[in-house]
Structure 1
Amino acid sequence: MHPRHIERHRTKRVGWLRAAVLGANDGIVSTASLVLGVAAAHATRSNIMVAGVAGLVAGAMSMAAGEYVSVHTQADTEMADIELERKELKTDEAGEHKELAAIYVGRGLDPALAKQVVDQLMAHDGLGAHVRDELGITKAHSARPIQAAFASAASFAIGAAMPLLITLLAPAVNLILFVAATSLVFLALLGGVAAYASGASLTAGAMRVTFWSALAMALTAGVGALFGAVV
């Protein structure tokens, strides 16, 4: 007897992976940019740390709340569509049979075979067949608000802690250079890891994250320097 073959598809982790990568990326970019902006305005290290920690807490809670509300809205929409499908199965089961069969015919099945497949699927789990093949809702892609919120908040905090740690340890005279350089390295690694996990190009993933992050840091540092010069 052959052992069961288990395929590990990347789409099964797309929900939490997206939230985690987005959170970590935002944590590094926003906190590093904040640190650079405040440092460029000639603030003391203690003031920079206060601003950075405040940014970490506010950013993590904002990410969690935003992700929860967004994903919960998706979950509510999915549940409403499923409930509508359940009612349609009760009121027009024959019509739902034809609708599902038409979907399979459109995918290449012979009409007679499509009808046979629908009969068997409807006998086993009619609602599940319609949810999966008509609505396109699967277990791997279903909305999970709490999981997404936790992943976003935790990853944001971890990402934000990196530039803060550098701010705490780097020499004051080279603080801006150390924070900018190490943050870009962290972001390039994060982009590469995210690309690897999703099956994309490591180089492309690292480059796009690094470019936009460098732009955000440069603009924030410029604003900080301008503000410091004026004030």
Structure 2
Amino acid sequence: MTHHEVHRSHRVGWLRAAVLGANDGIVSTASLIIGVAAASTTQENILLAGVAGLVAGAMSMAAGEYVSVSSQSDTENADLALEKISLENNIEFEKDELAKIYQNRGLEPGLAKQVAEQLMAHDALGAHARDEIGISESISTKPVQAAFYSAGTFTVGAALPLIVAWVTSYDYIISAVAVLSLVFLALLGGVAARAGGATITVGAIRVTFWGAIAMALTAGVGRIFGVVI
């Protein structure tokens, strides 16, 4: 019988950026719309604020992800460059270092040394990158990919409460945006949890909980601002 395991760690890079983007798009735009609506302004101003929030948020997410992941990539590349120099100048030391890593994982000294030698003969830098530094190809940083996923999913997430505000009567904007945005967040949390192999219920609850808090706080600020004005 063939046994096939489906691992999900290779999804970490794009999944994190995609979930973060969609979550921020829903929460920030819904909160912005609710806050502005609570200040007793016109529906046109509410929609204008929502569109501005969508554009600004998408660009901010893209730039933030790109800079953040690029910084991580720079650190990884610097470590790899140092390791490459060490392999060129101290090959025996690096063999012993890798063998000790395998010993600590449970291999006998002789076998650990043999494994280290064979792996380094095949791909010395790759072996040290993976087992000494902790960098693997499946989870390596990709700044452009992270920026694309984050901005794209933010736009999709932000469009949901914006569409609700557009098609809903002014008197019901706050309640409609709040309720449907929480539904969107619950679905997002469930889908993200499913994609990552986690419990769907837990994923849905934690995303919805923090979204509800953000909307409630923004509504309170908007209400206070409207009274002051």
Common fold, TM-score beyond 0.5? Answer: yes
Q: Which residue of 2 aligns with 1:96?
A: 94
Question: Could you tell me which residue of structure 2 aligns to residue 23 of structure 1?
Answer: 21
Shift of 1:223: 0.6
Matched, 1:170 2:168: yes
Task: Summarize deviations over 1:80-115 as a string: whole Å, max 9, x none.
Answer: 000000000011100000000000000001110111
Instruction: Give runs of aligned pairs for residues 105-184 of structure 1, distance below 5 A.
Output: 105-184=103-182
Report the TM-score when normalising by structure 1.
0.97
Q: 1:44, 1:173 → 2: CA distance?
A: 11
Q: Which amino acid aligns with 2:71?
A: T
Distance 1:120 1:222 in 2: 64
Aligned equivalents of 1:218, 1:123: Cα separation in 2: 60
1:70 to 58, 68, 71: 68
Distance in 2 between residues matched to 1:139 and 1:126, nearest whole Å: 15
Distance of 2:205 and 2:117 partners within structure 1? 50
RMSD: 1.2
Q: Compare 83-92 and 115-124 and name the one that shifted more.
A: 115-124
Unaligned runs of 5+ in 2: none
Aligned to 1:188: 186
> Letter of the aligned partner of 1:103 in structure 2?
I
How far, CA to CA, are the matches of 2:126 and 2:224 in structure 1? 59
Amino acid across the alignment from 2:105: R
CA deviation after TM superposition for structure 1 residue 6, in Å: 5.8
> How far did 1:140 drift?
1.2
The Cα of 1:8 is off from its aligned counterpart by 3.0
The correspondence for 1:86, drawn from 64, 84, 87, is 84
CA distance in 1 between partners of 2:200 and 2:178 (Å): 21
Alignment match, 1:211? 209
- % identity of equivalent residues: 65
TM-score (norm 2): 0.97
**Partner Cα distance (2:215, 2:113) in 1:** 59
Which digits, 9 at most, give the CA deviation of each residue in 1:161-219, with x for residues without a partner?
Answer: 00000000011111111000000000011011111111111111111111111010011
Give ranges in structure 1 of 5+ residues lacking alignment.
Answer: none
Measure, in 2, the Cα distance between the counterparts of 1:227 and 1:68: 35
Shift of 1:9: 1.3
Distance 1:17 1:190 in 2: 12
